[in-house]
């Protein structure tokens, strides 16, 4: 049976948040586990990241179509396995050349971030290890297709390692309401082996309508020797001008790029927000119906959640603009997984896989957190995102096994599926 969560967004005619209610048996069965979770494992990719009319803002058709209640197993039909063993090649000879030269090692490929638009999912495949042939990919979703092939996006030519006009290592991506894909390329490869600085960091914007690169932003002027770029968020002002925010954990900053104005700012965060800068700086953007945006951010080890309004970020005003939202429930470390395009944020606790939702228009306390998915035994969620068929989706992987060389020849176990809630009965 399907469960629809009625929240503020739905009452204000925002994108409906639909979460499946199903038994855990409807989930894809996880691969055998080799290790148990613990609170000190690296369970998030950022933990090792370097120094219009018929469609809504996410590209979904604005009809009232839902998965039928008569569908006996709706989740299984919308569960997609992503693997380094299933890449799209122009021909077998090209694949053989890459394998023989060491430029393709299937077990070293992992998907860490994703963005959905209509029937396409765009994925980031950071070059954490040697043998990742491309770092930005696309998968076409087809109902019932269990294993989906990943193709380089937008083409092979832009994936050349060592060519600074190409993508080196994309650690995060964001697709904005106008269909522009923004890729955060840190320029550093082999970060889990012997890090190599191939190029300077940059942001690359690609128009998903025609698959053409429309803008490249050199980030050299704003980064420092301590910088560790981890996440990217795109915001639009009320007059429809784009702004890009980048989390710089190492420099305790949020970088702001005014795309139309050609300006950039560094918002230095107060020391109180960062117990240590050798940490993950999570951030996610919420928006109210009137267009007011708020960026929520927190370091993994910080005991508190913070926010800053988009109107202050867009003019480079950090001093006096940061709000202490509150203490994290139970004193646990939180992994901020994403937002729904409205006022809801999603997160899990470190080392745990249950996903919680919090409406940012309510007080930040345990009583206002909704448990929207019970996790499995082997994979941990790395992202929650809105997308295909107007559902909330979750990207999961055994990233902790990947960085510990415990995935075996088949590589990481990666799954993308709708957020699922266990039935009460």
Could you tell me where the beta strands, DSSP code E, fall in 208-350?
212-218, 229-236, 242-248, 253-258, 263-268, 281-287, 293-299, 304-309, 323-327, 334-339, 344-349
Strand-pairing partners, residue 420, are 20
Q: What is the dihedral sign for C-alpha 131, 133, 134, 139?
A: negative
Q: Tell me how far apart the alpha carbons of residues 279 and 239 are, in angstroms, rounded to a whole number.
A: 35
In the numeric block, which tokens belong to residue 141? 């979703």
Query: Parallel, antiparallel, or unpaired for β 18-22 and 420-422?
Result: parallel
Q: Tell me how far apart the alpha carbons of residues 149 and 85 are, in angstroms, rounded to a whole number.
A: 9
Cis peptide before 146 (omega within 30 of 0): no
pLDDT at 407: 86
In the numeric block, which tokens belong to residue 1? 């049976």
pLDDT at 94: 96
Element holding 181 (H helix, E strand): strand 180-185
Task: State the pTM of this model.
Answer: 0.85
Q: What is the dihedral sign for C-alpha 268, 44, 403, 418?
A: negative
* Cβ-contact 286, 342 below 8 angstroms: yes
Q: Tell me how far apart the alpha carbons of residues 49 and 186 are, in angstroms, rounded to a whole number.
A: 9
Per-residue pLDDT of the chain (425 residues; tens, 9 = 90+): 333 333 433 333 343 344 433 322 232 333 333 333 333 456 677 666 554 333 333 333 333 222 323 344 567 778 899 999 999 999 999 999 999 999 999 999 999 999 999 889 999 999 999 999 999 999 998 876 778 899 999 999 999 999 999 999 999 999 999 999 999 999 999 999 999 999 999 999 999 999 999 999 999 999 999 999 999 999 999 999 999 999 999 999 999 999 999 999 999 999 999 988 789 999 999 999 999 999 999 999 999 999 999 999 999 999 999 999 999 999 999 999 999 999 999 999 999 989 999 999 999 999 999 999 987 768 999 999 998 667 899 999 999 899 988 888 889 999 999 998 765 54
Element holding 95 (H helix, E strand): helix 92-100
Q: How far is CA 88 from CA 133, 140, 165, 248, in A?
A: 11, 11, 23, 33
Domain 2-422 sits in CATH at 2.120.10.30
Q: Which of 417, 329, 316, 408 is nearest to 373 (CA)?
A: 417
* Cβ-contact 219, 255 below 8 angstroms: yes
Residue 420's Cβ-count burial label (10 Å; 0-12, 13-18, 19+) is buried
Residue 52 CB partners (closer than 8 Å, separation 6+):
none
Q: Where are the domains of the chain?
A: 2-422
Q: Tell me how far apart the alpha carbons of residues 231 and 295 are, in angstroms, rounded to a whole number.
A: 12
Strand-pairing partners, residue 18, are 4, 391
pLDDT at 76: 75
Q: Which of 352, 390, 326, 315 is nearest to 18 (CA)?
A: 390
As a dihedral over the C-alpha atoms of residue 407, residue 409, residue 411, residue 413, rounded to 10 degrees, the angle is: -70
Instruction: Give 41's DSSP letter.
Output: S
In the numeric block, which tokens belong to residue 301? 């080890």
pLDDT at 374: 86
């Amino acid at each position: 049976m399907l469960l629809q969560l009625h929240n503020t967004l739905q009452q204000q005619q925002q994108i409906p948040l639909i979460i499946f209610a199903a038994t855990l048996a409807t989930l894809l069965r996880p691969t055998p586990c080799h290790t148990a979770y613990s609170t000190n494992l690296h369970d998030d990719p950022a933990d090792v990241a370097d120094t219009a009319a018929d469609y809504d803002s996410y590209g979904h058709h604005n009809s009232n179509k839902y998965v039928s209640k008569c569908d006996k197993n709706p989740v299984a039909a919308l569960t997609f396995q992503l693997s380094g063993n299933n890449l799209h090649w122009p021909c077998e000879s090209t694949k053989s050349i890459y394998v023989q030269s060491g430029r393709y090692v299937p077990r070293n490929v992992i998907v860490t971030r994703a963005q959905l638009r209509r029937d396409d999912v765009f994925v980031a495949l950071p070059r954490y290890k040697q043998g990742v042939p491309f770092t930005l990919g696309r998968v076409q979703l087809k109902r019932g297709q269990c294993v989906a092939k990943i193709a380089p996006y937008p083409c092979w030519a832009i994936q050349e390692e060592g060519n600074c006009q190409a993508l080196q290592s994309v650690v995060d991506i964001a697709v904005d309401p106008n269909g522009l894909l923004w890729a955060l390329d840190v320029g550093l490869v082999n970060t889990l082996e012997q890090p190599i600085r191939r190029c300077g960091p940059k942001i690359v914007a690609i128009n998903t309508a025609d698959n053409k690169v429309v803008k490249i932003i050199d980030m050299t002027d704003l980064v420092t020797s301590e910088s560790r770029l981890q996440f990217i968020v795109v915001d639009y002002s009320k007059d429809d001008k784009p702004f890009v925010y980048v989390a710089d954990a190492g420099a305790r900053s949020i970088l702001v790029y005014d795309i139309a104005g050609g300006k950039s700012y560094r918002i230095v965060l107060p020391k109180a927000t960062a117990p240590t800068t050798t940490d993950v700086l999570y951030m996610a953007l919420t928006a109210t119906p009137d267009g007011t945006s708020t960026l929520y951010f927190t370091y993994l080890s910080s005991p508190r959640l913070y926010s800053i309004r988009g109107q202050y970020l867009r003019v480079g005003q950090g001093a006096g603009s940061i709000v202490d939202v509150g203490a994290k429930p139970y004193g646990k470390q939180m992994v901020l997984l994403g937002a729904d395009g409205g006022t809801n944020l999603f997160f899990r606790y470190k080392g745990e896989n249950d996903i919680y939702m919090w409406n940012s228009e309510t007080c930040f306390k345990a009583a206002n957190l909704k448990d929207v998915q019970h996790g499995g035994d082997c994979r941990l969620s790395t992202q929650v995102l809105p997308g295909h068929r107007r559902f909330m989706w979750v990207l999961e992987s055994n990233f902790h096994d990947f960085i510990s060389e415990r995935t075996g020849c088949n590589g990481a176990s990666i799954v993308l599926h709708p957020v699922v809630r266990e039935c009460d009965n």
